[in-house]
Amino acid sequence: MTSPTTVAGLEAAGGLELGPGRLADPRVAKAIELVWHEATLLDAKEYEAWERLWTVDGKYIIPIDPETEDFETHLNMVYDDARMRRMRVTRLVEGYSMSAVAAARTARTISRFTVAELDEESVTLRSAQVLVGFKREKHLLLAADLTHRIRFTDAGALIDLKVVRLVNSDGAVTASGFLL
């Protein structure tokens, strides 16, 4: 049986119209706008503003296993809660770490949005990201499948979960010096 909180479940229950119109749902549009705003902040290295986009219990995860959904028991490149995000941002903005010295300039494109889950309190989006970094006269190209869960709170739309599945996560991934 399909859960009513999945796209298929909502469609079966008559609560969601599939097809081109679903991306026009105001909650979905707001969630996509937030994902694009996040990308803009990251490219501009506005890490403290980026940090304010999160719910208190939100998770930022970059798994090594591209298929896992069990992030707590599998090895991850990044598994950040609010405390770890704060420490990561501090390292990036204070300039005392290798990741902050001559940080790469980045330009990212996020597209191919699909709605994975939709309810009154949140939208879960899947998308694709292509990121180009430039540092020390070299370009770096990273591609990833993204999952964002956007929660609608009294404070507005906030990121509750971000999973970055790098296409080369099970190979050698070089240090980037920026947030994905």
Q: Degrees (nearest 5) of the Cα angle 174, 110, 103?
A: 40
- CB distance 146 to 124 below 8 Å: no
Q: Considering the domain boundaries, does residue 46 fall inside one?
A: yes
Q: Considering the domain boundaries, does residue 172 fall inside one?
A: no
Work out how many domains the chain is built from and give that number: 1
Q: Considering the domain boundaries, does residue 174 fall inside one?
A: no
The Cα–Cα gap between 59 and 67 comes to 18
What pLDDT shows up at residue 76? 92
What pLDDT shows up at residue 11? 52
Q: Which domain holds residue 77?
A: 7-166
In this model, does residue 23 exceed pLDDT 90? no
Q: Considering the domain boundaries, does residue 39 fall inside one?
A: yes
Q: Considering the domain boundaries, does residue 72 fall inside one?
A: yes
Q: Considering the domain boundaries, does residue 95 fall inside one?
A: yes
Q: Considering the domain boundaries, does residue 124 fall inside one?
A: yes
Helix (H, G, I), strand (E, B) or coil at 135: strand
What pLDDT shows up at residue 72? 93
Q: Considering the domain boundaries, does residue 157 fall inside one?
A: yes
Closest CA to 27 of 117, 115, 123: 123
CATH of the domain at 51: 3.10.450.50
Two structure tokens written together for 66: 């591209």
Pairing of strands 54-63, 76-80: antiparallel
What digits encode the pLDDT tens for the residues 119-168?
Answer: 999 999 999 999 998 888 888 889 999 999 999 999 999 999 999 999 98
Separation of CA 156 from chain center:
17
Q: What are the DSSP calls for 24-44, one per residue?
A: GSHHHHHHHHHHHHHHHHHHT
